[in-house]
Amino acid sequence: MPPNTLVRRRVLASAVALGVAAAIAAPVAIPEAASAATTGALTITDESSSPDRYVPENLPAKYPSVEAVDPNSNPQAFWDGGEFTFPADLAPARGDTYPMAIGGVNAPTDPICTSGGTVDLTLSFDVELMGPTAGVGGTADASFVLDGTTRVGTSTGLPPYNTPLGWSGTVTTTATVPVEQLVDGRLTYYVALEGFHNGSRSWDASGLTLDYSLACPPVAEDDETSTYVDESVQLDPLANDSTDPSTTLDPSSVRFLDESGNPVDTLLTEQGEYSVDTATGVVTFAPAEGFTGLTDAVTYQVANSDGLLATALITIDVLPFSPAMTLVKDGELDDANENGLADVGETITYTFTVENTGTVPLTEVSIADAKVSGIQPSSQSVPVNGIATFTASYVVTQADVDSGSVYNEASASGTDPRGGTVATDTADNEVPGTDRVPGLTVDKSSTLHDTNENGLADVGETIDYSFLVTNTGNVTLHDVTVEDPKVGEIVPASVTLGPDDQHTFTASYTVASEDVSLGEVYNTASVSAIDPINEDGERYVGVPDFDRVETVPPAALLTLEKTGALTGDVDGDGLADLGDVVTYTFAVHNAGNVDVADVRINDPRVSSTMPESMDIAVGGTGTFTADYTVTQDDVDAGEVANTATAEGAYVTPEGPVSVNSSPSTDTVGADRAPALEVVKDGVLDDTNENGLADVGETISYTITAHNRGNTTLVDVVVFDERVDGLQPVSATIPVGESVEFVAAPYTVTQADVDAGSVTNTASARGRVPNGPEITSPPVDNVINVPAADPSLTIEKFADLQDANDNGTADVGEEILYSFDVVNTGNVTLSDVAVIDDRISALVPASIDTLAPGERFTFLADPYVVTEADVQSGGVVNVASATGMAPGADEPTESESDTVTTVTTVIVPPTTPPTPDAAGPDDDGSLVTTDGALGLAGLGALALAIGALITGGLLVRRNRVS
C-alpha cells in the first residue's frame, strides 16, 4: 500500500466474559486513539438460564449489530442495542465484573482494496485473561468470519492448554480473503477461545468480537492524454480512479504536488501550465507556446470521502497539428464481351484507398464521388499513418458511352481533432468506352387548314407541320433541335434522344403574302444536335427534308385615305391662314392578299413624308405623315386641297410588280378675308389762282386701291362717276400691295359749284381668284369751289287783248302776262317759280333748275279785266321769282317787278274806295288799306293819264341781268 494511504478502523464489539482484550495496531495515527488502551467493565446485571443481556459501561460508540459465533456456529455474544448478551452456560454471577482492555490496531501489510483477486489479511491483537476462572485448558482459536458465517484463516499465539488467569499474549490471525467476499468493504473479526479438558470443552471464551471495517483508500491511476501544439487540453483524473464502494472520491481534493510535495491548485513548468477546477477536479493543461513532445510527469493527489489519499502521475503528449491524407482510386471493369471497352450494362468495381499522412488522427473519413453511390463503408476513422479502404460498384450507362469513357473523380474528406475538415486532392479514373457513331434523320409532313376549302393555301390559313426525328446512331444526342426558317416556334424547343429513340416536333405556320407571291409555301427542315465527338462547338447535322403547299394567285390592292388637320393654327380660328401648318396623315391599307413592299406616298403638295417608305403586310395599315405650310395661293383658293396616291410593289419569281392605290383628296378650308380699300387724291389746276375750283378749271384725280385682306385680288377696277379714262383699266393686287389708277383731267362744272364743292366718290371692286367679288368702301374727295351767291331777276310783260282797240283795258278784256326769270347768281337754282297774286296759273308752274345766266319765260293764263280794275284806273300786276339754292334752307327770291295796264279813265266816286278795292297798296297798289289813294297809286294814275295823253301806248319794261 502506498505510504500515504490512510486506514480507518471501526470497533464494532468488544469485551467478553473472560475479559479478553483485543488491540489492533495501526502504523499511523487515526481519528480514534490507536495506541492507548480503552478500558471498561462489563457488569453482570442478571442471572438466568437463558442468555442475559448486560449493559456495558464505558464502551466505544455503538456500531451495527454483529453476532459472534463459536466454531460450532453457536452464537456466543453479540452487540445489540448497547448490550452484550452471553450464553447461559457462562452463568456469571450477578454483580460480577469483568474488566477488559483494547489496544492498538496493526494494519495489514498489503493493499486490501484491489478490485478482483484476493487480499492477504494479517491482524494481530493482544489478549489478557482477567476473568474469574483460574485458567483454561485445551485449545483455543481465533479466526476471521466472512459473511457472518464462514471462518477462515489460521491463528498463532493462542493461549496454551490450561492457561492460567491473567495470561496475556499476542494472537495473530492470517487469511487470504477474496475481495468479492468483503461485504461493503467490511470484514468481521472474531476472537473465539475454547477451553478443553480431557478432550471435552470445559469452557468457551468467545469474548472479543471485532467488526473491522477495512477502510479502503482511493486507487489513483496514472493519466495520460494528448493535445496539439498551442492547444489546451482538459482531463478528468478521477475518471479512471476508484475507491471503496462505501466511499466516494472527493473532486475538491484534487491537487498537484509541487517539488516540495505540497498540494497546489496550479503548477507551472517549462512545458506548460497545469490548473485544476476545484469544484469538478478537472485538470487543464496549457502547453507552452511552440512546445511539442511528451511532458514530464506531474503528481496529483485525491482523497475519498473517508479522507484517505492516493496519488498518481499525469503526462501530456503535445503533438504537432498537421492533418493530411491522400486518396488513390482504382477501377476494374467486368468486361462481359471482352472487347476491352466499357459497354452499357457492364460493371466497374472501384476501390478508394485513403492514407492518413498527417500528424493527427482523422474521424468521419468518407468518399465523395458523384459518379457512384453506395460506397462502403460510409465513413471510417483513420489513425496517424493508417490506411482505410472503401469500395463501390458502378454499372456503365448510355451517358458513359456518349461521353466516350467512364470517367469519374472522387475525393476524401474527414474531420481533424479540432473539428476542421480535411480533404484530399481529386483522384480520377477513366475506363474507355465503345466507339461513338452519331446519326439523325428528320421526316417532315404538313396539313393545310383550308378554311375556304378551295384546295389552295390562302393568306391567313394555317399549315400544321410535323417533324419526326430519329436517332439512328449509338450515342445519346443532346439538344436535338429542328430548324425551319419558314415556321415560328417549334415545339418542343429541344429533346434528348437515345439510340433508336424518336420524337415528333410540331409547328404551325400562317400563310403569308410572300408565299402567295411565290405561288407556294416551300420550306426545308433540318435537324441537329450537340456533336458528342467534336469538342469545337460545332453541331452534328442530320439529313434534311422539305415540303411544298400550293397557294392561290396573288391579288394586290392598296387603298389610301388622306386626312389633314391644322396643327399650326396660329389664330385658332380653325381655318388655314398663310403660314399655318397642315399635318397630313396618309393611311395606306393593304386590302390584297400579298405583302406590298417599299410603299411610298405620291403627293405634289408635300415634299417628303415620315417615314419615307414602309412595307405593309396583308390586312395591315401603314401610316405616313407630312407637314405642309399654307401658301398665299391656298388662301386665295379658299382651301388647301391636294390629292395623293400610294404606290409599292410585291415580289414574284419573275420580279417585282408595281401596285398603285386610287387617289385620295383632302381639303382644309382656308380663312379667306379679302379687304379692298381706296384712297382718292385730286390736284386742281387753279387758273385764276383763287384757290377754288371754278367752272372750267380742271382737276387731276389719282385713285389708289389697297389690298388690305389676306387674299390676292384680281380684276380690280375703280368706279368713279365723275371721272373717266382711268388707267389701268383693271389690275391684280397681291396681299398688302396697292395699285394707282389715274383718271383723265376733270373739268369743273356748274353742278360742282352748285354742289358747293367738287366732291366725288370712288370705290374699287375686285374678286378673289376663283372666288366672290369684293367692293371697297366708297371714298370721297372734296375740292372747294367759290361760295354760293344765288340771285334771281324777273321781268314781267303784259299783253292786253284790246278787243275794242281803245287802247285801254276794259272790263272783260284779257291780259296775257309773261315773266322772264334770269339766274343772275353763280349757282343753279332749283324749283324756280313765279309768285304773282293776280294770275291764277303759270305755265309751267315751276322749273326744276335754272343755271346761272340762264333765262326762262313763264306764261300766265289770260287775265280777265274786272270792273274793279277799271274803277281803279289800271290793272296793276306785281310779280317776283323764287328758287332754291343748293343746300339752302330758305328760297332765293328776286326783286318784284310790277306791270300796270291802264284801264278807261273813271271819275273817282265821292266815297273813297273800300280797302278791298283793286289797286296797288303799299307794295305798289293804287289804293291804301285805309281807302286813301296812295302816292304810288297817284303816281301810277298820273303815269297812266300821261300815257293816254301821249298816244294811248302801253309801256313795258325789260330787265336783263
HEC profile of 38-105: EEEEEECCCCCCCCEEECEECCCCCCCCEEEECCCCCEEEEEECCEEEECHHHCCCCCCEEEEEEECC
Please say if the pLDDT value at position 940 is more than 60: no
Return all residues near 299 (Cβ < 8 A) that are at least 6 apart. Answer: 256, 257, 311, 312, 313, 314
Mean pLDDT is lowest, of 607-611, 649-653, 829-833, for 649-653
What pLDDT, on the 0 to 100 scale, is given for residue 471?
Answer: 93
Please say if the pLDDT value at position 816 is more than 50: yes
pLDDT tens digits along 901-933: 777 765 555 455 544 444 444 443 333 333 333
The 8-class DSSP code of residue 179 comes to G
Separation between Cα atoms, residue 343 and residue 338, nearest integer Å: 10
What pLDDT, on the 0 to 100 scale, is given for residue 412?
Answer: 94
Work out the percent of the chain whose per-residue pLDDT is above 90. Answer: 29
Q: What are phi and psi of 605, to 5 degrees?
A: -80, -35
Residue with the bigger pLDDT between 315 and 758: it is 315
Strand pairing category for 223-228 and 309-319: parallel
Separation between Cα atoms, residue 312 and residue 217, nearest integer Å: 13
Separation between Cα atoms, residue 961 and residue 955, nearest integer Å: 20
Please say if the pLDDT value at position 83 is more than 50: no
Going from the N-terminus, what domains does the chain have, and what CATH number goes with each? Answer: 38-213 (no CATH), 223-319 (2.60.40.10), 325-432 (2.60.40.10), 441-550 (2.60.40.10), 558-669 (2.60.40.10), 676-784 (2.60.40), 792-950 (2.60.40.10)
Residue with the bigger pLDDT between 339 and 209: it is 339
What pLDDT, on the 0 to 100 scale, is given for residue 722?
Answer: 80
Mean pLDDT value of segment 186-214: 44
500-533 burial, b at 16+ Cβ within 10 Å, e below that, comes to: eeebebebebebbbbbbbbbebebebbbbbbbbe
Please say if the pLDDT value at position 243 is more than 90: no
Measured between alpha carbons, how far is residue 239 from residues 295, 302, 677 in Å?
Answer: 20, 12, 133
Residue with the bigger pLDDT between 404 and 393: it is 393
Question: H or E stretch including 615?
Answer: strand 614-616
Q: Are 15 and 56 in contact (CB under 8 A)?
A: yes
pLDDT-derived band at 176 (thresholds 50, 70, 90) equals: low
Please say if the pLDDT value at position 181 is more than 90: no
* Distance from chain centroid for Cα 699: 88
Name the residue type at position 439.
G
What pLDDT, on the 0 to 100 scale, is given for residue 776?
Answer: 83
116-133 burial, b at 16+ Cβ within 10 Å, e below that, comes to: eeebebebbbbbbbbbeb
What pLDDT, on the 0 to 100 scale, is given for residue 212?
Answer: 44
Q: Are 517 and 594 in contact (CB under 8 A)?
A: yes
What pLDDT, on the 0 to 100 scale, is given for residue 270?
Answer: 95
Q: Are 271 and 295 in contact (CB under 8 A)?
A: yes
Please say if the pLDDT value at position 333 is more than 70: yes
What pLDDT, on the 0 to 100 scale, is given for residue 669?
Answer: 72
CA angle at 648 for the pair 486 and 515, rounded to the nearest 5°: 20
Residue with the bigger pLDDT between 169 and 79: it is 169
Mean pLDDT value of segment 349-369: 93
Q: Are 143 and 172 in contact (CB under 8 A)?
A: no
pLDDT-derived band at 720 (thresholds 50, 70, 90) equals: confident
What pLDDT, on the 0 to 100 scale, is given for residue 57?
Answer: 35
Return all residues near 136 (Cβ < 8 A) that are at least 6 apart. Answer: 18, 129, 159, 161, 162, 163, 193, 195, 202, 203, 205
Return all residues near 33 (Cβ < 8 A) that are at least 6 apart. Answer: none
Please say if the pLDDT value at position 792 is more than 60: yes
Predicted TM-score (pTM) of this structure: 0.36
Mean pLDDT is lowest, of 5-14, 184-193, 405-414, 423-432, for 5-14
| Of 214, 217, 195, 198, nearest in space to 206 by CA | 195
Please say if the pLDDT value at position 459 is more than 70: yes
Mean pLDDT value of segment 706-717: 89
Please say if the pLDDT value at position 324 is more than 70: yes
Residue with the bigger pLDDT between 26 and 764: it is 764
Q: Are 559 and 589 in contact (CB under 8 A)?
A: yes
Mean pLDDT value of segment 641-665: 86
What pLDDT, on the 0 to 100 scale, is given for residue 93?
Answer: 43
Please say if the pLDDT value at position 203 is more than 50: no
First to last CA, the chain: 199
CA angle at 915 for the pair 913 and 921, rounded to the nearest 5°: 105
Residue with the bigger pLDDT between 100 and 740: it is 740
Q: What single string gives the DSSP state of each residue in 551-611?
A: BPPP---EEEEEEEEES--TT-SSSB-TT-EEEEEEEEEE-SSS-EEEEEEE-TT-S--BS
Separation between Cα atoms, residue 792 and residue 625, nearest integer Å: 84
Locate 595 and state its grid cell.
405583302
Q: Which residue in the block uniquely carries the three cell numbers 502504523?
A: 27
Work out the percent of the chain whose per-residue pLDDT is above 70. Answer: 71
Residue with the bigger pLDDT between 31 and 206: it is 206
Mean pLDDT value of segment 772-800: 86
Residue with the bigger pLDDT between 111 and 483: it is 483
Separation between Cα atoms, residue 556 and residue 546, nearest integer Å: 28
Residue with the bigger pLDDT between 34 and 401: it is 401
Mean pLDDT value of segment 601-629: 90
Please say if the pLDDT value at position 450 is more than 80: yes
pLDDT tens digits along 263-292: 999 999 999 999 999 999 999 999 999 999
pLDDT-derived band at 813 (thresholds 50, 70, 90) equals: very high
Separation between Cα atoms, residue 267 and residue 273, nearest integer Å: 6
Measured between alpha carbons, how far is residue 567 from residues 571, 609, 738 in Å?
Answer: 11, 16, 32
What pLDDT, on the 0 to 100 scale, is given for residue 483?
Answer: 92
Mean pLDDT value of segment 317-341: 90
Q: Are 325 and 347 in contact (CB under 8 A)?
A: no
pLDDT mean across residues, the chain: 75
What pLDDT, on the 0 to 100 scale, is given for residue 159?
Answer: 55
CA angle at 895 for the pair 890 and 899, rounded to the nearest 5°: 135
* Distance from chain centroid for Cα 764: 72
Mean pLDDT value of segment 328-351: 89
Separation between Cα atoms, residue 186 and residue 212, nearest integer Å: 6
pLDDT-derived band at 518 (thresholds 50, 70, 90) equals: confident
Helices of type H across 723-826? 750-755
Separation between Cα atoms, residue 485 and residue 469, nearest integer Å: 17
Residue with the bigger pLDDT between 387 and 44: it is 387
What pLDDT, on the 0 to 100 scale, is given for residue 80?
Answer: 38
Locate 923 and state its grid cell.
307794295
Separation between Cα atoms, residue 541 and residue 521, nearest integer Å: 24
What pLDDT, on the 0 to 100 scale, is given for residue 951?
Answer: 35
Burial-class residue 935 by CB neighbours within 10 Å (0-12, 13-18, 19+). exposed
pLDDT-derived band at 894 (thresholds 50, 70, 90) equals: confident
What pLDDT, on the 0 to 100 scale, is given for residue 906?
Answer: 54
Q: Where are the beta strands (DSSP E) in 693-845?
A: 698-707, 713-719, 731-733, 738-742, 746-747, 757-767, 773-775, 779-784, 792-801, 814-823, 829-836, 842-843
Separation between Cα atoms, residue 309 and residue 300, nearest integer Å: 10
pLDDT-derived band at 235 (thresholds 50, 70, 90) equals: very high
The 3-state DSSP composition of the chain as helix, strand, coil percent (nearest 5) reads 5, 50, 45
Mean pLDDT value of segment 97-119: 40
Please say if the pLDDT value at position 64 is more than 70: no
Separation between Cα atoms, residue 177 and residue 144, nearest integer Å: 9
Q: Are 254 and 279 in contact (CB under 8 A)?
A: no
Mean pLDDT value of segment 586-601: 90
Residue with the bigger pLDDT between 501 and 53: it is 501
Return all residues near 838 (Cβ < 8 A) that are at least 6 apart. Answer: 817, 863, 875, 877, 878, 879
pLDDT-derived band at 503 (thresholds 50, 70, 90) equals: very high
